[in-house]
Amino acid sequence: MPFSLRARSSWLAKRRLCYNPACDQTHGCDFLLRSLLFTDPVIILATIVMGTISLITSLFDPTGRAQHRIARAWSRMLLAVSGVKVRVEGAEKLDATKSYVLAANHQSLMDTPVVLACVPLQFRFFAKKGLFRIPFLGTHLRRAGHLPVVREDPRASLKSLSVAAKLVRSRGISVPLFPEGGRAPQGMRDFRDGAAYLAIKAGVPAVPIAMTGTREVLPMGSVHIRRGNVCIRVGDPIPTDGLDLHARKQLTHELQTQVETMLGMNAAQTARQETEIHG
């Protein structure tokens, strides 16, 4: 067989092996091969190494601050290896010496590393209580000061928020939340009251956060991160001084409105997208 025909036959065989309609809609199979051969192995290795370092560090730092810095470094490595570039707008509105409750829209599993890498605050996250029972991971979560939550039990979730409010006040930490309660395949879901409840209970400002681009770099149902651009916009902190828990719905509405404004969404778009998500 002539070389040109043999090469063409080999190329067609590779195309058949890696063909995926979703690939054709993005960057072809190149991103998939890069993910399988480079990105995924590097991320797994970095996670194991940085997780081990963080666990060892926790033996000498009960505050969790060192572990947070390690987690931030891991997040930045993940973004760099994946080819994800992040633009941050409004970070100057935050004071690194103060505590906040951040309320962000939720598009993708990439939202957490983006916030962790780019927002200059000391965070503690809520995690499912079941994760704390997993060997190694549970130990790391507890030592880092993260907070268990039982999502299926509203009363237990409320108790977790009350405990978190005390920690925010006593330790001077911030907590990011995704008030939609889960990732939205498109648009935004209605915000729940948890972020507003926590901010009022802790007596700290609530900050609206709007993210775009994360859904494109890691779509729902995919484990392969695509190269792309992400933007995170920090809104004006909303003071909670003088507010009681009866004001949480009003605060929730204000947070969602500000996030929608930063995303460039209008009421008609939101209503239509909510109908598509729930209908």
The full set of domains in the chain, from first to last, is 84-278 (3.40.1130.10)
Q: What local confidence, expressed as pLDDT, does residue 270 receive?
A: 44
Q: How far is CA 130 from CA 67, 127, 137, 149, 271, in A?
A: 21, 8, 10, 9, 35
Pairing mode, strands 228-234 and 147-149: unpaired
Can you tell me the mean pLDDT for 76-82? Answer: 92
* pLDDT tens string 187-226: 889 999 999 999 999 999 999 999 999 999 998 888 788 8
Exposure string for 94-125, b = 16+ CB within 10 A, e = fewer: beeeebbbbbbbbbbebbbbbbbbbbebbbbb
Residues 6+ apart with CB under 8 A from 259: 103, 104, 105, 188, 191, 208, 209, 210, 235
DSSP conformational letter for 91? G
* pLDDT tens string 89-107: 999 999 999 999 999 999 9
Q: Closest Cα partner for 138 from 49, 65, 45, 51?
A: 51
Q: How far is CA 199 from CA 43, 55, 118, 126, in A?
A: 34, 29, 21, 14
What count of residues does the chain have?
Answer: 279
Helix, strand, coil abundance in the chain, percent, nearest 5: 55, 15, 30
Question: Does residue 239 carry a pLDDT above 90?
Answer: yes
Tokens, residue 47: 């996670």
Q: Poorest-confidence range of 48-52, 176-180, 235-239, 258-262?
A: 48-52
The Cα 136–Cα 144 span in angstroms is: 12
Chain-wide mean pLDDT for the chain?
Answer: 81
Distance of alpha carbon 52 from its chain centroid, rounded? 22
Taking the CA of residue 74 as centre, how many other CA atoms within 13 Å lie in the half-sphere pointing to its CB? Answer: 21
Question: Does residue 271 carry a pLDDT above 50?
Answer: no
